[in-house]
A = this chain, B = another copy of it.
Amino acid sequence: MGSMPAQPRSAPASTTSTAGTAGTAGTAGTAAPASSRREQILREAGRLFAERGFHGVGVDEIGAAVGISGPALYRHFAGKDAMLTELLVGISSRLRDGGLRRAAGAEAAGLPPSATLDALIDGHIDFALDDRDLITLHDRELDRLPREERRQVRQLQRQYVELWVAVVRAAHPALPEDQARAAVHAVFGLLNSTPHLSRRALLPDRDTTAALLRRLARAAFTAAAPPPE
């Protein structure tokens, strides 16, 4: 825990001692190079926003979470809104791009639509299990964005949804489009449900959970087609 991050980290020679808490050393050692201050701030802000809501978190708290205090954040971001914007745009972009990549890959490999759908499901599960905070934010704090940014995020989200809808319809041609769309939203809700019970070890281990979610999601789409009557 207390291990020094090795980085020089300007010694806070100044009085105050605010730095104390900083820690949490989240970073989870992603191989990614140099998690800059900026990214560190984004990570902590995302966590706090997910925990207590955008309006429920003050800039001083965000600063404290990374070991600096309050207004220093403005050296990195134009304001609190800008942090949320960057978080939400980033999430939506990653989801959409990842989905497009997987769908294109599956199609190029000549796999059937059902396998493409499975690839989308697996990708979303990875995201939901690995970035719980972001998933939470993503469908909870959208309305706190200024108009133009909100439009941008919504567009990305819509593209992601429509990608799924197209694949679902290819895999289950009997399903009408509006029901396919509703089913996609429902499965998103299903897959995104994990963040809510993240607290307390109520979940099985990651692999078991992932396998469970995969089974549930696939079965849901299969059942979405109207009953054979």
Contacts and interface: CB of A to CB of B under 8 A. Distances in A.
A189 to B, nearest CB: 3
A82 interface: no
Nearest to A176: B204
Interface string A189-211: 11111101100001110001100
Contacts of A192: 189
A154 to B, nearest CB: 11
Given A203-B182, A215-B223, A224-B215, A196 B139 contact: yes
A54 B208 CA distance: 35
Given A53-B54, A185-B197, A189-B196, A179 B208 contact: yes
A140 interface: yes
Interface residues of A, number: 45
Contacts of A51: 143
Contacts of A209: 182
A127 interface: no
Interface of A: 51-56, 139-141, 143-144, 176, 178-179, 181-183, 185-194, 196-197, 202-204, 208-209, 212-213, 215-216, 218-220, 222-224, 227
Contacts of A191: 186, 189
A104 to B, nearest CB: 26
Nearest to A175: B212
Contact of A186 (B54, B190, B223, B224): B190
Contacts of A212: 179, 182-183, 186, 224
Given A53-B54, A56-B55, A202-B181, A216 B186 contact: yes
Nearest to A187: B190
